[in-house]
Amino acid sequence: MAIMHLTRYSQKLQTQTNLSVILPDDFTDYPLPAIWLFHGLGDNGTVWARKTIIESLADTYKVAIIMPNMGRSFYMNEQHGMPYWDYLTTEFIPGMQQLLPITTEPNKNFVIGNSMGGFGAMKLGLSHPDWFRAVAMLSPVVDLNDIIPIMPDYDHVFGPKVPENYLQSLMDKSDHAAFQQLSWYRVIGQDDFMKQSNDAFTDVIQANGIKETYLVHPGTHNWDFWNQEIQTIFAWIDTLK
């Protein structure tokens, strides 16, 4: 098993950036299927390897796992900061596809994220559905109003007011036929403070013709829950490959 922590200069961000990659020791399916794994607010690209069993999952399923550091950006071009979205989509993902032994074939690329990273995963899947086979979200932020009590610096990213119905608006502008072809998976803890918003968001999902697996399991908004659920998501992805 190879766990790599890489530092690369970003032209978009005009600074050194860090990322983490996990590769299985032995693999015959070359180039490897790719899991793009996004972190949540207050974490970085190292957190999944530190707090879950994804190292074991990479070896079990023979996939590469690529984890960017996206700061507190919500996978956006920040209003008063850095163009993280442009970095992710025009520099990070294409750069990793050149550097690593991973496939560019959409049917073998998957994006997963928790909390803020779940928001980012859905945003990426809606914006570039032709890049992926599936999108999976653990406890995702689906209503940006939910973050106001826990993100005092939200204006740095969004300006003075968080956007209303951001994901719905993104769906309205995106290629419905394309994102409807993706497989979608969303899971939330029964006691998660964002469960009500996620329950309501199911109506938006269905109205846009997305065929989604939406599950509510015991748990809350923490790593115990995400460590358990990421194992189920990897098994689900394996059925799609």
Q: Per-domain residue ranges for the chain?
A: 2-240
Statement: residue 26 has pLDDT above 90: no
Q: Is the pLDDT at 1 greater than 80, yes or no?
A: no
Q: Read off the pLDDT band of 142 (50, 70, 90).
A: very high
Q: How far apart are CA 64 and CA 59, in angstroms?
A: 9
Please tell me whether residue 217 adopts helix, strand or coil conformation: strand
User: CA 92 to CA 81: how far, in whole Å?
Assistant: 18
Indicate if the pLDDT at residue 27 is higher than 80.
no
Give the H/E segment covering residue 117.
helix 116-127
- Cβ-proximal residues to 75 (8 Å cutoff; 6+ apart), any chain: 38, 84, 85, 88, 116, 117, 119, 120, 123, 124
Give ∠ CA 230-129-80 in degrees, rounded to 5.
Answer: 80
Q: Which CATH superfamily does the domain covering 2-240 fall into? A: Alpha/Beta hydrolase fold, catalytic domain (3.40.50.1820)
Residue 30 has pLDDT above 90, yes or no: no
| pLDDT tens profile 146-175 | 999 999 999 999 999 999 999 999 999 999
> Which pair of tokens denotes residue 219?
């748990």
**Distance (Å, rounded) from C-alpha 67 to C-alpha 21?**
6
Question: What is the DSSP pairing of strand 64-68 with strand 134-138?
Answer: unpaired
Look up residue 16 and give its two tokens. 């050194």
The answer to whether the beta carbons of residues 44 and 115 sit under 8 Å apart is no
List pLDDT tens digits, range 60-83.
Answer: 999 999 999 999 999 999 999 999
List all residues 6 or more positions away from 239 whose beta carbon is below 8 Å from its beta carbon: none
Residue identified by tokens 């899947």 is 125
State the pLDDT at residue 73. Answer: 98
What is the spatial order of strands in the sheet that 183-189 belongs to? 2-10, 15-23, 64-68, 34-38, 109-114, 134-138, 183-189, 212-217
Query: Amino acid identity of 12?
Result: K
Q: What is the pLDDT of residues 171-191, one digit of tens each?
A: 999 999 999 999 999 999 999
- What are the pLDDT digits (tens) for 90-113? 999 999 999 999 999 999 999 999
Contact between 58 and 101 under an 8 Å Cβ cutoff? The reply is: no
Q: Which helix (H) or strand (E) holds 158?
A: helix 154-158
